[in-house]
A and B are shown apart, each in its own frame.
Chain A
Amino acid sequence: MNWTLAVPELVLGLSGLAILGVGVLPKANTHFACAMAAIGAFLLTAVLVLGAPEGTGFGGQIVSDAFSRFTRVLILIGAAAGVALSLDFNAKEGMDRFEYPVLLVFATLGMLVMVSANDLMALYIGIELLSLSLYVVAAFNRDNERSAEAGLKYFVLGALASGLLLYGSSLVYGFTGTTNFDRIADALSDPTRASPGLIVGMVFIITGLAFKVSAVPFHMWTPDVYEGAPTPVTAFFAAAPKIAAIALFARVLGGPFGDLAGQWQQVIVVISMLSMVLGAFAAIGQENIKRLMAYSSIGHVGFALVGLAAASEAGMRGLLVYMVIYLLMNLGAFAVLVAMRRQGRAVENVTDLAGLARTDLSMAVWMAIFMFSMAGIPPLAGFFGKMFVFKAAIDSGLWTLAIVGVLASVVSAFYYLRIVKVMFFDESAGALDARPAALSFVMTASGLFTTLFFLYPAPLVAAAAAAVASILG
């Protein structure tokens, strides 16, 4: 049985229940207290994850290894920052209900279940727990038409993707006779025995996961949901769930389907190429900055998948490093987006940032750093993420993919630099409201990471290498 492996998940689940139970009782508004308790629960769980033993538990349904440890800590950091970003915004928009942190706790629990899954069933249930919570928080500002639309759209398309994933899983189960990752890997150790039915099942699973990471051509929901959902919710969407879904991608394709790399590599190459190109070109005309960040996140998923497409140890390592850097610089950029309020109203157009350098220099400088980093300009962190994945792609002989990636990153630099230009050189559109301390903290922390990463990248790269070794093993 070995249930001790699931202690972090158990603790997080019980904390979620406790926060729900305590939060619902008093007549007063418990949003702030519940949010603080949620952040505390995330940190406690992260400590437990770091000390977790290794092995498989519950009859092989879950696995605790270096990979799951690495991604779980990352997810918990992203989730805690996501809650911190929402505190002030929710209170000002009148969405400060205690259910918000509770739903984020359960969403995070879903992500932990996903990345420590060692079985198709555990994988599916983790995804559902995550998705269901996300559908609700997307529509959390229920009196706002766009938020409700975002929730509904995400729900309908997400249900379709879950169906595809489930159908793929059933085919894989039918053709291998098991849902356990290790035994699927055993069954496929001789790639010539993989039947067409199994390949179809695997492609369906890839489709379902590609939807969750919003890779082209399954990205249609992303811009609308990102634009419609309240800004802190968008920040949460773009951070932790992306990490979880990409990590799941790496585990499923690297673990059980590792020996079929020749089959899935071409699919990932196409998905990755399309995502990079669409992310670069579609964002150019966007005026709404949340929509722009949605296309930017599609592009980033494309870059990260370059590492997966390489289907090598270096590629997977690049993927993980890329996701860490993406998470941190994205959190910083979204902290700026959440801080965009003028006279008590949230504003979300690129032009609303005009002349920010004259009214709030520190925020403008941080935002400029995030934008330069996303564009991949050295010596900022984003450059190293891109360098790792492109180098791995070239080592695996995927020259076309690497060249398309570099060109896409040049094109995407246009809209990142446009934001910098608007902030520093345009006529001021008026000062933004003073920002709360939590946003400044997230902004500064991720800004410092982004700028100083190049000084000492070794621990992160080493941790990523250990994580990859445990799944490719």
Chain B
Amino acid sequence: MIAALAFYAFAAILIASAVMVVTSRNPVHSVLFLILAFFNAAGLFLLAGAEFLAMILVIVYVGAVAVLFLFVVMMLDIDFTQLREGFQRYAPIGAIIGAILLIELFMVVTTWRFAPEAATLRLSPTPAGVTNAEAIGRILYTDYIYLFQACGLILLVAMIGAIVLTLRERPGTRRQNIGEQIGRSGSVSLRSVPQGAGLKVIGIERPPSPEEAKPKEVEHHAHGGHH
């Protein structure tokens, strides 16, 4: 009873938010509705007993894909009114294609039937005694370990490729060099400063590096110069 209620609640919100993804005028709202749709789909998976898929859906689709969408939508300056301009002109063609697809879908649904022996041939999705995450793990890491590792290498190549093609060593970048930072001595010292004394009394302390001498002097002149 509660499961059925939960199912209808999730399903209704899922469909409603999916509709809103398409119809809402603000693209950012669309993406937010998409995230809502993903969450509800994850709820449906949970009800069906596929908790692993539910978590993956939340982590991958909500955590990565939808957030990426959001970034792209916010960063690209897309003029959506301009995109909608040709709507009236293209509507008839779109309607015809939609109708053809609908008819095809109807034909498939009405004539489709499972082979009678299909149900017995099906492998059990959840072997007895293990959770479904464990069952997926067993298949992935034992039966398909070769392909799984090869997929890992493909991702590695994708990462190397992205770095090779985009990373540039800019001359001006300053990186933290921890060894140098810890090793510097003489240029930094502890001083006992009397209370209430401002910078005017003790002066600004800088390490005596020759390359920074020039801009410093300019700064001094700008501030009226005090030595």
Contacts and interface: CB of A to CB of B under 8 A. Distances in A.
A122 B147 contact: yes
Contact of A136 (B143, B146, B147, B157): B157
Contacts of A3: 146
A97 B144 CA distance: 34
Nearest to A148: B165
Given A58-B145, A58-B146, A139-B165, A125 B160 contact: no
Given A106-B153, A132-B154, A142-B165, A99 B146 contact: no
A13 B164 CA distance: 19
A99 B147 contact: no
Contacts of B156: 17, 106
Nearest to A95: B164
A467 interface: no
Given A125-B154, A129-B154, A103 B160 contact: yes
Interface in B144-193: 144-147, 149-151, 153-154, 156-158, 160-161, 163-165
A62 B147 CA distance: 10
B160 A99 contact: yes
A20 B161 CA distance: 13
Contacts of A207: none
Contact of A129 (B145, B157, B163): B157
Nearest to A143: B168
A132 B156 CA distance: 10
A136 B153 contact: no
A98 B71 CA distance: 33
A103 B164 CA distance: 10
A61 interface: yes
Contact of A121 (B145, B147, B158, B163): B147
A109 interface: yes
A189 interface: no
Nearest to B162: A136
B145 A13 contact: no
A103 B157 contact: yes
B160 A136 contact: yes
- The A interface is mostly helix, strand or loop, or mixed, namely helix
A121 B139 CA distance: 15
Interface string A100-122: 00110010010001000000011
B160 A6 contact: no
Interface residues of A, number: 32
Interface string B65-82: 000000000000000000
A78 interface: no
Nearest to A57: B146
- The B interface is mostly helix, strand or loop, or mixed, namely helix
A85 B158 CA distance: 24
Contact of A99 (B145, B158, B164): B164
A318 interface: no
A140 interface: yes
B150 A129 contact: yes
A132 B146 contact: no
B147 A132 contact: no
A176 interface: no
A62 B144 CA distance: 11
B146 A122 contact: yes
A136 B162 CA distance: 8
A109 B152 CA distance: 13
A128 interface: yes
Contacts of A16: 153
Contact of A135 (B146, B151, B161): B161
A132 B161 contact: yes
B201 to A, nearest CB: 44
A135 B143 CA distance: 30
A20 B160 contact: yes
B200 to A, nearest CB: 44
A140 B145 CA distance: 31
A13 B145 CA distance: 14
Contacts of B158: 132
Interface string A160-180: 000000000000000000000
A279 interface: no
Contacts of A59: 143
B157 A125 contact: no
Contacts of A20: 160
A444 interface: no
A336 to B, nearest CB: 28
A115 B206 CA distance: 65
Nearest to B160: A99
19 contacts: A20-B160, A57-B146, A97-B164, A102-B160, A103-B164, A106-B153, A106-B160, A109-B153, A113-B150, A125-B147, A125-B150, A125-B151, A129-B153, A132-B154, A132-B158, A133-B157, A136-B157, A140-B164, A142-B165
Given A6-B146, A129-B150, A142-B164, 16 more contacts: A16-B153, A17-B156, A58-B145, A58-B146, A61-B144, A125-B151, A126-B150, A129-B153, A132-B157, A132-B161, A133-B157, A133-B161, A135-B161, A136-B157, A136-B160, A151-B165
Interface of B: 143-147, 149-151, 153-154, 156-158, 160-161, 163-165
A-B residue pairs, 10 tightest by C-beta = A136-B161, A58-B146, A99-B164, A125-B150, A132-B157, A106-B157, A129-B154, A133-B157, A142-B165, A128-B154
